[in-house]
Amino acid sequence: MKEKRQHKEQLYHLFARVASAMANPHRLELLDLLVQAPRTVEDLANVAQMSIANTSQHLQRLKQAHLVVGAREGLYIRYHLADPAIARLWLELRGVAERQLAEVERTLDAYRERRHEFEKVSADELRQRLSKNQVVLLDVRPEVEYQAGHLPGAISIPLDELERRLDELPKSKTIVAYCRGPYCVFADEAVGLLTANGRKAARLEEGVAEWQLAGRALEG
């Protein structure tokens, strides 16, 4: 009986190993970025605004828990999620925090301070309006993320290029912008820029992870 108890405790130690690897805000941000696209340490450090040394240490913790894997490409190692279930785990963790912690909504309001100003389009409504050729779907994430996977029919204009490429977008249709999901501000900034330039614009709250979790396919 004692031996069985030891084995049971060992199981919980293994579960805790995964939870411990995720129990850090920087590592959660790295996972969130890797949901969008595989990246090198240097890329992750740049986007997450961390030093390369710290980023590497956090990746090693995630790697030890088998949450991420690295593949060598010449001089660099490109990291990606070890399993699609890890993206689902991240979204479920986020969802629990949304439901149980009132601070999440308040903090999101402070981060995305204009999020209640814009029209929001649901995924189902988007599909209907795309099928009727009523809207243009705009992916404002970095090009590397678009190439890794994007919503069907989306065109890519990264946020930092949008202002100088406005003429590429039709003036007669509503532009629906999306980015990394509800905790990303890129689409808000894009919709703000579009409306300031006289365009009809709306935001899709979902990103590629939420789209896939609902059983929908990506392109790319």
* Residue 208 one-letter amino acid: V
First vs last Cα of the chain: how many Å apart?
53
Catalytic one of 179, 194, 208, 209: 179
Distance between CA atoms of 13 and 196, rounded to whole angstroms? Answer: 54
Q: Which residue has the tokens 């980023």?
A: 55
DSSP sequence for 86-114: HHHHHHHHHHHHHHH-HHHHHHHHHHSTT
* 153 burial level (CB within 10 Å; 0-12, 13-18, 19+): middle
Q: What residue ranges in 94-199 does DSSP mark as E strands?
A: 120-121, 135-139, 155-156, 174-178
Asked if residues 39 and 79 have their Cβ atoms less than 8 Å apart, the reply is: yes
Asked if residues 179 and 209 have their Cβ atoms less than 8 Å apart, the reply is: no
Q: Which tokens go with 71?
A: 């593949």
184 noted as active-site residue: no
Element (H, E) at 32: helix 25-36
Which amino acids are annotated catalytic? Answer: 179
